[in-house]
């Protein structure tokens, strides 16, 4: 049966082009001379086309993947990413590389240009590079049954969407995804070689601000406009160490609140002392809050737990300053009223001079005491003193 798929014609064209190059030059060794290669490798490379995947037109090739996490160098909340150094190992079977015997052949990593290798990539990677000290850190091992082991050491900065609403008591779940760039599910299939045991190094990993709580692996599919592609995902949960983050914000803010309360024991008349403590604590707390926000992403769409705590501390500190302002204002108002009342009484006394002010202070009825008089004699209701009344009665009448 003649294949009619467009990809088949394209692949056949590449095969004919590669075959023509091999016929003109003997073998396509790339930068290598045929005499420099091991005889076994020379036999395997005869007629080998690195542009065709294994099992072409005979089902997808299965690629087993395992990882060793060497280190997680940095976790950035500002950029929401992490930088990790990993050993990526891939295994697949290529029937064109079968040779007699039970041994394996380890070849130079630079011979990768002579073999077909998967186009595995990290979709969430921002930056990545292959280590090349002292040589490119590649490993190629070919087994007698045609199995190829391809390992390399890379460092990548990978995005991680973080939820910081509970910072600094948060728990983040990051992923490491591996996909095929050009081969879809009809060409290659990814699988973890040993399930969750395919990932090593996370159990013994020691981080400054986090601890690895758990991890697991999964197999899924990446859906794009061009088709379905194989996808492997490593999920790992990171729990933040509260001590490392809380010591930068919690003790200073708590001490500032206590310091603002010291002003309550200072005399209310000491205006400069209490004002200086209040203003200093408010400004220091504001600086502490700004410093806490600079170490986190500038995301105003959500409020973090540290924002709530620092906001409450700022409220207490500002309330202490506001309390003194209100108390001092009320005291000054009361003092002003007392001074005005005293001045009014003094002016009243000065304006009356030695005049009298009637006040009822006698126990006898119909008698009052005339305040301000020189003799303080009792008077009756007609305004006459008692002695004057008696003198009037003793005068003889006319006639």
Q: How far is 142 from 163, CA to CA, in rounded Å? A: 45
CATH (residue range 22-244): 2.70.170.10
**Predicted TM-score of the model (pTM):** 0.68
Mapping DSSP onto H, E and C, the string for the chain reads CCCCCHHHHHHHHHHHHHHHHHHHHCCCCCCCCHHHCCHHHHHHHCCCCCCCCCCCCCCCEEEEEEEEEEEEEEEECCCCEEEEEEEEEEEEECHHHCCCCCCEEEECHHHHHHCCCCCEECCCEEEEEECCCCCCCEEEEEECCCEEEEEEEEEEEEECCCCCCCCCCCEEEEEEEEEECCCCCCCEEEEECCHHHHEECCCCCCCCCEEEEEEEEEEEEEEECCEEEEEEEEEEEEEECHHHHHCCCHHHHHHHHHHHHHHHHCCCCCHHHHHHHHHHHHHHHHHHHHHHHHCCCCCCCCCCHHHHHHHHHHHHHHHHHHHHHHHHHHHHHHHHHHHHHHHHHHHHHHHHCCCCEEECCCCCCCCEEEECCCCCCEECCCCCEHHHHHHHHHCCCCC
Q: Residue 231: its pLDDT value, please? A: 96
Question: What is the pLDDT, as a whole number, of residue 42?
Answer: 77
Which homologous superfamily is 248-349 in?
Answer: Neurotransmitter-gated ion-channel transmembrane domain (1.20.58.390)
Residue 329's pLDDT is what? 83
**What is the model's pLDDT at position 39?**
73
What residue has token string 């006639």? 399
CA atoms within 13 A on the CB side of 386: 10
Q: What is the pLDDT of residue 388?
A: 55
Per-domain boundaries in the chain: 22-244, 248-349
Q: What is the pLDDT of residue 11?
A: 44
pLDDT value of residue 159:
96
Three-point CA angle 88, 93, 96, nearest 5°? 130
Query: Could you list the pLDDT tens digit for every one of the 399 residues in the chain?
Result: 334 444 444 344 444 344 444 433 444 445 545 555 567 777 778 888 899 999 888 889 999 999 999 999 899 988 899 999 999 999 999 999 988 888 888 888 888 888 999 999 999 999 999 999 888 999 999 998 999 999 999 999 999 999 888 888 889 999 999 999 999 999 999 999 998 999 999 999 988 889 999 999 999 999 999 999 999 999 999 998 876 667 778 888 999 999 988 888 888 778 888 888 888 999 999 888 888 777 666 655 568 888 888 999 999 999 988 888 888 888 888 878 877 888 888 877 778 764 444 444 444 444 444 444 444 444 444 445 445 555 555 555 544
CA dihedral 240, 246, 249, 255 (to 10 degrees): 170
């Amino acid at each position: 049966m003649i294949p009619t798929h467009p990809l088949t014609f394209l692949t056949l064209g590449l095969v004919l082009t590669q075959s023509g190059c091999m016929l003109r030059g003997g073998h396509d060794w790339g930068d290598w001379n045929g005499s420099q290669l091991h005889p076994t490798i020379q036999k395997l490379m005869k007629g080998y086309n690195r542009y065709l995947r294994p099992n072409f037109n005979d089902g997808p090739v299965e690629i087993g993947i395992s990882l060793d996490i060497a280190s997680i160098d940095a976790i950035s909340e500002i950029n929401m990413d992490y930088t990790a150094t990993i050993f990526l190992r891939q295994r697949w079977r290529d029937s064109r590389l079968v040779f007699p015997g039970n041994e394996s052949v380890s070849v130079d990593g630079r011979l990768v240009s002579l073999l077909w290798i998967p186009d595995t990539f990290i979709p969430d990677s921002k930056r990545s590079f292959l280590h090349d000290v002292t040589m490119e850190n590649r490993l190629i091992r070919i087994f007698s049954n045609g199995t190829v082991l391809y390992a390399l050491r890379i460092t990548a900065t990978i995005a991680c969407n973080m939820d910081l609403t509970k910072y600094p008591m948060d728990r983040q779940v990051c992923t490491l995804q591996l996909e095929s760039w050009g081969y879809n599910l009809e060409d290659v299939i990814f699988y973890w070689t040993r399930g969750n045991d395919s990932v090593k190094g996370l159990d013994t990993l020691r981080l400054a601000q986090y601890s690895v709580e758990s991890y697991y692996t999964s197999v899924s599919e990446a859906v794009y406009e061009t088709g379905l592609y194989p996808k492997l995902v490593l999920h790992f949960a990171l729990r933040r160490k509260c001590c490392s983050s809380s010591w930068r914000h919690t003790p200073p803010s708590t001490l500032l609140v206590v310091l603002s309360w010291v002003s309550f024991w200072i005399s209310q008349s000491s205006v400069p002392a209490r004002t200086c403590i209040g203003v200093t604590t408010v400004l220091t707390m504001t600086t502490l809050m700004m410093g806490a926000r600079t170490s986190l992403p500038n995301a105003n769409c959500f409020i973090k737990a540290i924002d709530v705590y620092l906001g409450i501390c700022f409220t207490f500190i500002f309330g202490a300053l506001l309390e003194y302002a209100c108390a001092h204002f009320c005291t000054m108002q009361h003092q002003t009223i007392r001074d005005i009342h005293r001045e009014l009484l003094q002016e009243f006394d000065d304006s009356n001079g030695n005049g009298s002010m009637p006040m009822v202070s006698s126990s006898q009825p119909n008698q009052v005491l005339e305040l301000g008089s020189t003799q303080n004699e009792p008077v009756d209701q007609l305004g006459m003193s008692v002695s004057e009344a008696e003198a009037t009665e003793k005068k003889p009448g006319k006639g």
